[in-house]
Structure 1
């Protein structure tokens, strides 16, 4: 390869003082001179002991390096901020955009010709892809893989059990001692959540977008095949550099449409929407919230995984993985979209087989006719809202009831279990001010635990509405991502307890029974809640974050990708 076409030659190919500095300090690691003439491959690592899902990434990176070296490249591993969904406060979503900036500038400012992104836990995947899109180099994703299915007293369990246990604590059917006894059984291996939560949805997203090698999504974290895939990915990224196969070549409009249809078929997380919108905004592909409904509407649920179904990611792997799912979608996918291995998506899944149709049902005989996602419109969400019909109670998908309104998360926590709270099974729980600006950061609190007194009566689901998000492991009849959010002063901000709301998912509407005049009068009197953020990144975030229907990215980060080299400071 002619070294002049390598981006890294702008550093290591120089003569004089600059070349001396660039090479000399790298040589303190024992690097011989001839290595600087090879493609330099960055391995962007989100390993952290505070991100348990990604705790095996040090080991996984070594297998990527093997592949890079085997293909004639030179690997350089670098860290970026990591987001541990299970530990980090107030919410990792607040910092997704910050990590994307870390990734973008780490790639842009360093002598890197291509990059492998190591990501697993929920926000690490979209953050890394968003940052890489803004530089647009040859890029390949290696996910960390799901953990093994939990086993407790002969029963398979996964992360969705958390929400059942939380309800059990409230209604008295579960004790703290029982909860403690399950902890080690739930998370019994390295890897991210074992169900089709957000982390698994993100792994499926990158594979259906064509950003990973076939098979990436479902291989368990501790399976030896995960290491083999990591090494193959390291080898392939060197070839991608030689071919100049960049992200913008792979991430076409058709690739995004394939990912949306795939997410509907697998019952993926509602968080998929907000992350894919942000990725599209970074790479410059036109994508709107309405596209998700249009493309998902006729896609049935064919993957029988929790929280929408019965099985786990480990079962999906044994059943044939995502490639077997894509083959079932052959009639609707854009078959000629290019993937990072240089083949079309259809070429990749051509030889795939389904080994268990209880896990992966045929397209013509689906596990459920309910699609994985639906987009709603109405007078409380002029820019849209989302719901996951596959995880909802069918009898609540068309429901009218009185609102029980909580002004913020603190108000909810204080009153939800009060005996004085006027609420019954027909009520609709409404939680405001948990959106991008209002919280800030848009936390996963939308699937509110039901009032204790109703849980004790055997009520297991109610319609719930918020401008926040919910975990991909969650379930229930939950309307999310209300846009515009309450903190902007729109109609959602002026809802009151007792207002009658109608949810009609088949009609794709959600409506409060108030006249335009009444809503306008309330808005004129209302004063939106705002959370003061006087300094630092949180201040920057609240000033520039976009609404949910735009992906909740920072307004100054969208569009304009490119790999120009930072000016020298030496």
Structure 2
């Protein structure tokens, strides 16, 4: 070898005083000639219980074969956990979704550090997988590449394309007698036809697209469908690039800079991405030692237009981006238009600009991606709102279809379950602001994602007539006039804890304000009367999470100390 690329693993393989370690490595199938090779940890979030993840072991095996076919590499597969947001949505299990991001990061860091792997290829699928693996790769800071598991194919029923959100919205349609019980069941049965992450520009595809623009995955990774030939090809060629990164000693912190983070966020906002982007990129930036705050997101949102006609706010899916040339054609367009910076290093070993040289130009003879001179919305759909209800910030998802201003009377719920019952039982009135509280990172605990209430609102035909605010968070599939991540949260004594039925709340997405229209004297009176609710858990992982998690405005990280 011209340059040693096994700088970590040789601390075990070249140490003559570790006979037991060597014996165990021989037991794994290693030969003596393998002891001088760089060891690559191939980690996936594989598990059978979720379509987003059920195929990742197959991709992992293809990647391992690619790795061991390289002369100087050897690969070891391992897995980490995952939580299905779609399956746990609206149940107590959803409390574990966001906290699973930290477990994913911790577990990958643990295995790679303990076993002295020289590099990592990570294969995430579902929503929290992407930021979880990214956080760990930055902590480790060893040559690494992310291979996204890919998006699911669309379902089909009654001459209409379906996806996971179709099934949630169908319940609202059934309860308002817009569809029959039989139609309802057929929509559910046909929404998810096989493996892959949820098809719209929801959290998984948002993060995958952003990470590709940031340079941490190969071109096309985010838009190649889960079962496509493109995804198989990506698995086959990835070993070439991990070897190049090892030889050049290119590490994640060389790739993840403030400029590359801005690239990722800009692309995600242009495509109408999930509000979960905020939580995850705050955490990613912290792991990269990059100063990036809520104000940076608002600055970017003011700079970039919404050009992606993608679900949940639009009508198309990730498979449609694949059909028009994939994520790279959009990245190239935004580079050429000066939206993205092309000087950032990527996992190919080349810059983003160099990666795009052979990519074809986007053809605007389609309705999926709009040109910058005729955008869906002239600026970003994600707004950071402040005001007396959210002095430390909150996150709104405003595409323009909902309007940019809402004022209404509060209808207050201390749990998502109570709010869902009220929506389904037609107890929500036009013009109201639904308030769901005590569902933040501490109060939830775990800041559970809420797709049910927004889907029920849309399915019930109330999407343009009510608003919803919460100290919890929303699914990437949520749309409507919604504001989440309100900080401080109710459990910590934030003003949202003192809102009462009938109070007027004003949401101003033009001036980025979220205001409770109650006199200060009355607010102080309510504060004195308020008794903090008992924590919902007193043991186990969620209790540890409560004791260590930072506020939503800081990314809900657990290693902030």
Q: What interval of TM-score do these two structures reach, taking the shorter chain for normalisation?
A: over 0.9
Q: Which position in structure 2 is the counterpart of 1:190?
A: 195
- For 1:241 and 1:150, the matched residues in 2 are separated by 41
Q: Which position in structure 2 is the counterpart of 1:75?
A: 75
- For 1:90 and 1:308, the matched residues in 2 are separated by 23
Distance 1:456 1:131, change over 3 A: closer
Distance 1:284 1:220, change over 3 A: same
SS in 2 for 1:82: coil
Aligned-residue offset at 1:449: 4.8
- For 2:367 and 2:541, the matched residues in 1 are separated by 47
- For 2:460 and 2:184, the matched residues in 1 are separated by 19
Distance 1:328 1:192, change over 3 A: same
- For 2:86 and 2:462, the matched residues in 1 are separated by 29
Aligned-residue offset at 1:521: 2.5
- For 1:368 and 1:4, the matched residues in 2 are separated by 48
Distance 1:410 1:358, change over 3 A: closer
Equivalent residues in 2 for 1:73-472 (5 A)? 73-88=73-88, 89-91=93-95, 92-330=97-335, 331-352=338-359, 353-355=361-363, 356-390=365-399, 393-395=401-403, 397-417=404-424, 421=427, 423-445=428-450, 448-449=453-454, 461-472=465-476
- For 1:305 and 1:142, the matched residues in 2 are separated by 22
- For 1:447 and 1:177, the matched residues in 2 are separated by 21
Distance 1:366 1:258, change over 3 A: same
Distance 1:530 1:261, change over 3 A: farther
5+ residue gaps, structure 2, are none
Output the TM-score relative to the length of structure 2.
Answer: 0.93
8 Å Cα contact 2:310-2:368 kept in structure 1: yes
- For 1:387 and 1:164, the matched residues in 2 are separated by 21
Of 481, 488, 494, the residue aligned with 1:490 is 494
8 Å Cα contact 2:503-2:516 kept in structure 1: yes
- For 1:451 and 1:234, the matched residues in 2 are separated by 45
Q: Which position in structure 1 is the counterpart of 2:548?
A: 544
Aligned-residue offset at 1:296: 1.6
Matched length = 550
8 Å Cα contact 1:446-1:466 kept in structure 2: no
Larger mean CA deviation between 523-532 and 337-346 belongs to 523-532
- For 1:414 and 1:528, the matched residues in 2 are separated by 24
8 Å Cα contact 2:45-2:79 kept in structure 1: yes
Q: Which position in structure 2 is the counterpart of 1:515?
A: 519
Deviation digits for residues 332-386 of structure 1 (CA, Å, limit 9, x no counterpart): 2122011111111122223332245421222222233352311111100011111
SS in 1 for 2:391: strand
- For 2:175 and 2:379, the matched residues in 1 are separated by 30
Aligned-residue offset at 1:417: 4.9
- For 1:543 and 1:30, the matched residues in 2 are separated by 43
Q: Which position in structure 2 is the counterpart of 1:565?
A: none
**1:54 aligned to 2:53?**
yes
- For 1:461 and 1:195, the matched residues in 2 are separated by 24
8 Å Cα contact 1:166-1:449 kept in structure 2: no
Aligned-residue offset at 1:414: 5.0
SS in 2 for 1:202: helix
Deviation digits for residues 378-406 of structure 1 (CA, Å, limit 9, x no counterpart): 1000111111112x6433x2121111111
Aligned-residue offset at 1:412: 2.5
Aligned-residue offset at 1:519: 2.0
Aligned-residue offset at 1:411: 3.5
Aligned-residue offset at 1:12: 0.7
Distance 1:329 1:317, change over 3 A: same
SS in 1 for 2:117: coil
**1:553 aligned to 2:560?**
no
- For 2:357 and 2:442, the matched residues in 1 are separated by 45
8 Å Cα contact 1:319-1:360 kept in structure 2: no
Aligned-residue offset at 1:293: 0.8
SS in 2 for 1:134: helix
Q: Which position in structure 2 is the counterpart of 1:525?
A: 529
8 Å Cα contact 1:384-1:483 kept in structure 2: yes
- For 1:357 and 1:439, the matched residues in 2 are separated by 42
- For 1:529 and 1:496, the matched residues in 2 are separated by 16
- For 2:373 and 2:412, the matched residues in 1 are separated by 42
8 Å Cα contact 1:385-1:481 kept in structure 2: yes
Deviation digits for residues 477-505 of structure 1 (CA, Å, limit 9, x no counterpart): 11111111111012111111111111110
8 Å Cα contact 1:409-1:431 kept in structure 2: yes
**1:15 aligned to 2:16?**
yes
Distance 1:490 1:343, change over 3 A: same
Aligned-residue offset at 1:48: 0.3
- For 2:187 and 2:356, the matched residues in 1 are separated by 38
- For 2:234 and 2:345, the matched residues in 1 are separated by 19
5+ residue gaps, structure 1, are 560-570
SS in 2 for 1:257: helix
Q: Which position in structure 2 is the counterpart of 1:36?
A: 35
- For 2:13 and 2:344, the matched residues in 1 are separated by 35
- For 2:259 and 2:153, the matched residues in 1 are separated by 33
| Root mean square deviation of aligned Cα | 2.1
Deviation digits for residues 152-175 of structure 1 (CA, Å, limit 9, x no counterpart): 122212223134213212212233
8 Å Cα contact 2:167-2:191 kept in structure 1: no
